[in-house]
Amino acid sequence: MAKKVLIVYAHQSSSSFNSAAKTTAVEVLTTLGCSVEVSDLYAMNFKATATAEDIKGDLKDAENFSYLDESKLAWEEGRLMDDITKEQSKVIEADFIIFQFPMYWFSVPAIMKGWIDRVLTNGFAFTQEKRYSQGIFKEKRAMLSFTTGSLESMFSATGINGDMNVTLWPLQNGILHYCGFQVLAPQIFWAPFSATPEARSCMLEGWRARLQGLLEEQPLSFISLDCFDKKGFQLKSDVQEKHAAKEFGLTVGIHMGKPLPPHNQMKAGS
């Protein structure tokens, strides 16, 4: 069965490297029989701020406004604004989501963060009971594909920007895995703006080659929710004992005070 792919794309220029990466993904995945849809956030003039204006009708508690609670109720009652529900419909239909963007301030651009804030609402994308390995979207896959302004060496364990695995943890674990997505290793285009035309072409060819087998790739490894107790959500004692003698921690974030596992957020099986 052909896969349905959603590309959430954030760049202002159609002549950018990000645009070329997005176009390459559309071309290759379409050739492979996928149905591909692109949410071009800047072209859509997508609203980036999560506010009370996202909700139709009366608020439950306007004086003590809580976006988390009000958006959940509005989602349940079909009162979210149309631009949000349209994107939520795309998420529901998609088997696989690719986020294509330039890394801004070690994260996603504001317009993409706004998409995350407004579209992945409480109730629709997660609940207290359904998150992480038991998340709502555990049958779906997602990945980050992005450009950096800094060289790869600068995002190393000894580089000035720090380990890219650490940078990726909040995005891949705190957003994608939190909603249950199976997260594929990121596609990172290191500093294309300062690369030669030939090097940029090689980057795109590498992406094109990866896309050929992307749908069969194994996802990154995260710790199952079952490994934590239900009171304080701490690692269960037997899990801690099992890994006590191992050299590295379990993941970048759940490292047990040990050295970080190499490439944990960048390569499957690490």
pLDDT at position 72 is 97
pLDDT at position 270 is 62
Phi, psi of 51 (to 5 degrees): -135, 175
Domain boundaries, the chain: 4-219
Residue 192 CA to residue 239 CA, distance in Å, equals 42
pLDDT at position 203 is 97
C-alpha 182 chain-centroid distance = 10
Residue 258 CA to residue 248 CA, distance in Å, equals 5
Mean of per-residue pLDDT scores for the chain = 96
pLDDT at position 201 is 97
pLDDT in tens, 174-226: 999 999 999 999 999 999 999 999 999 999 999 999 999 999 999 999 999 99
- Cite the beta strand spans of the chain per DSSP E: 4-9, 35-40, 96-102, 141-147, 182-183, 187-189
Predicted model pTM: 0.96
8 A C-beta contact, residue 181 and residue 130? no
pLDDT at position 206 is 98
In sequence order, what are the residues at sequence separation of 6 or more whose Cβ sits closer than 8 angstroms to the Cβ of residue 200?
17, 192
pLDDT at position 2 is 64
Both tokens assigned to 154: 């600068």
For the structural domain made of 4-219, what CATH number should be given?
3.40.50.360
Residue 18 CA to residue 35 CA, distance in Å, equals 20
8 A C-beta contact, residue 268 and residue 184? yes
Q: Taking Cα atoms as reference points, which of 22, 14, 53 lies closest to residue 38?
A: 22
Token pair 């804030």 is at which residue?
117
- Cite the beta strand spans of 46-129 per DSSP E: 96-102
Q: Which residues of the chain have pLDDT under 50?
A: none
Residue 208 CA to residue 178 CA, distance in Å, equals 29
Helix-helix angle 197-212:17-31, to 10 degrees: 30
What is the 8-class DSSP label of residue 141?
E
